[in-house]
Amino acid sequence: MREKILIVDDERMILELTSMVLSSRGFDVSIVDNAFDSYNLIESEQPALVLLDYMMPKVNGLEALKEIRERFPETYVIMFTGKGSEEVAVELMKAGAADYILKPFINAKLVERIENVLRIRSIELRNKELVQEQERLLDEIERWNRELEERVELKTKELERAHHEILLTEKLAALGHLSAGMVHEIRNPLNSISLFAQVIRAGLENEPEMKSYSEKIITEVERIDAILVKLLSTSKRSPFQLRTIHIDDVIEKNLQPFLEQMQAQGVTLQKHLLKSTPSILADADELGQVFSNLFSNALFEMKQGGTLSVTLTHDNKEALVTVADTGGGIPEDHLNEIFDPFFTTKERGTGFGLSVVLRIVKTYAGRINVKSEEGSGTTFQIWLPLA
């Protein structure tokens, strides 16, 4: 490829002679007789080299040099200077000239200097390319590293969660074993207490104060019984019947008992349930416990009102139910514990609700995820495989 050279000189003779010499040496030469017009030419032709006269009327050679170097960094400049201007030469080199040639010059020398500068230019440009390439590669490596770190972090979190879930499952199994026996033992005497208390109550029609005490006994016994039933259900599956059911029906049915409470607390319900959701194989009552526990927790958090959003979507493999509230949220350091049996922050809570939820979701080979920020509400997502 012929290298392009632009000669800028106000002397016609120099322009023509130099142009002839360089063309005969195989360069692609253009000429212009003033610096001012050279800029447009450089922009359009992008010459490798400009031979620029230092002494020209109108435009100062040094200024022209600076302008060219600044605007076209890939175009190198050799300056022509008059004899006796060596200090000027130093200044020119500082301002970015690749070389300078004293006028009048010997043609052979000129060509030699030009070839030299072009060689240096091509090395420098290649160097610049390599540096850029290196920077790009470094950037890419950094990006990969970051990606890798993120993936490791994600995997670690997933592993931790899986590990936690295994521990939890084991805990629930042990608890189930223990509680099944204990609950059975406790419920029998409890049943007797309740029966006798009812007998006593029947005999106290004329003593209202005493009667109210026996009623208290009955209510408290009922409360203990409810706790025992709940304890049992965290760990042990009750008798179930699998049927083809629609999740939207289950959600609707389990929302019903909460409607009154919602109205009383000033909670708005936002329901987005897809009509005609594909069916899944499950026990409707069992699956219903998942939603009623989530609704109950959500409403507990919105005593001063708020919004309960229930959304149901699906792809061709899973249904996704989202239950979101605008309550107080869950502090970050509780997030790992909320599914533990007995973990509760409520005065009268058992801490069984979410254990039951998790157990049932796992029973149906589903997944559960919780997102929460203190102060801005909580969102539970539940994925269930379709039939």
Contact flag: residue 169 with ligand ATP (CB under 6 A)? no
Query: Least distance in Å: CB of 162 to ligand ATP?
Result: 20
Contact flag: residue 286 with ligand ATP (CB under 6 A)? no
Distance, CA of 20 to CA of 110 (rounded, Å): 13
What DSSP letter does each residue of 196-257 carry, written as one string? HHHHHHHTTTT-HHHHHHHHHHHHHHHHHHHHHHHHHHHHSPPP---EEEEHHHHHHHHHGG
Binding to Mg ion, residues 337-376 (CB under 5 A): 353
Residue 213, Cβ density class (10 Å: 0-12 exposed, 13-18 middle, ≥19 buried): middle
179 binds, among Mg ion, ligand ATP, none (CB under 5 to 8 A by kind): none
Distance, CA of 283 to CA of 281 (rounded, Å): 7
Q: Are 321 and 251 in contact (CB under 8 A)?
A: yes
Closer residue to Mg ion in complex, CB, 47/351: 351
Query: Least distance in Å: CB of 144 to ligand ATP?
Result: 39
Alpha carbons within 13 angstroms on the beta-carbon side of residue 180 total: 9
Residue type at position 115: E
Q: Write down the number of H helices and E strands in the chain.
A: 10, 12
Distance, CA of 223 to CA of 270 (rounded, Å): 32
Contact flag: residue 297 with ligand ATP (CB under 6 A)? yes
Query: Least distance in Å: CB of 297 to Mg ion?
Result: 4
Contact flag: residue 254 with ligand ATP (CB under 6 A)? no
Closer residue to ligand ATP in complex, CB, 198/350: 350
Cα angle 213-218-222, degrees, rounded to a multiple of 5: 145
Binder to ligand ATP among 61, 176, 327, 366 (CB under 6 A)? 327
Contact flag: residue 309 with ligand ATP (CB under 6 A)? no
Residue type at position 350: T
**How many residues appear in the chain?**
387
Distance, CA of 132 to CA of 77 (rounded, Å): 23
Binding to Mg ion, residues 49-108 (CB under 5 A): none
Binding to ligand ATP, residues 328-387 (CB under 6 A): 328-330, 338, 343-346, 349-355, 378
Closer residue to Mg ion in complex, CB, 61/288: 288
Contact flag: residue 297 with Mg ion (CB under 5 A)? yes
Closer residue to ligand ATP in complex, CB, 279/350: 350
288 binds, among ligand ATP, Mg ion, none (CB under 5 to 8 A by kind): none
Closer residue to ligand ATP in complex, CB, 47/329: 329
Binding site for ligand ATP (CB under 6 A): 293, 297-298, 301, 325, 327-330, 338, 343-346, 349-355, 378
Binding site for Mg ion (CB under 5 A): 297, 353
